[in-house]
Structure 1
């Protein structure tokens, strides 16, 4: 694995773990695709740091479990905004 990829993987993983960010949020911050972030934290990270990989996996699973709530909240805000106009 090239050094710049290894560095990005660790930076992304630490960011996700510390901020509990979603893959989409991390992709926006680091300027790469969601697919790249996902591959970094699910495949590449386990080769570098298994302990950090497990902690990030827990965050990703939590975010996945909460995804339907965030989507519902976004829809609610959308319709509230339309109602005010």
Structure 2
């Protein structure tokens, strides 16, 4: 095996970074499509993709804004509606919980 120069090693590391960056960008776009299509919440999206809620939020707000600003605006609209409705959803969940406790 030939000796590897530090420059060669750095090029390999950079190539790896680009692969990861491409994967993250693809994931951000895929997540955005899912949220827009299904009107899903951050929690539902995180569960669907097997990632954390903070990763979904970071992908949809920061990363997507740099990749595709118009898509980011569309996702932001869905997330804003979900945020406005969450107190209603929470109240319904609590109501269901106590209805089932009385049975």
Q: TM over 0.5: same fold? A: yes
Aligned to 1:4: 23
Task: Select which of 64, 71, 74 maps to 2:83.
Answer: 64
Aligned to 2:54: 35
Q: C-alpha deviations, 1:23-61, integer Å up to 9, x for none?
A: 000000000000000000000001011111000000000
Aligned to 1:51: 70
| CA RMSD, 1 decimal | 0.8
- Give 4+ residue runs of structure 1 displaced > 3 Å after superposition: none
Specify every segment of 5 or more residues in structure 1 that has no aligned partner in the other structure, as ranges.
Answer: none
Larger Rg: 2
Higher relative contact order structure (alpha carbons within 8 Å, sequence separation ≥ 6): 1
- Per the normalisation by structure 2, the TM-score is 0.80
Give the count of matched residue pairs.
Answer: 84
Aligned to 1:22: 41
- Per the normalisation by structure 1, the TM-score is 0.97
3-state SS, counterpart of residue 15 of structure 1: helix
Specify every segment of 5 or more residues in structure 2 that has no aligned partner in the other structure, as ranges.
Answer: 1-17
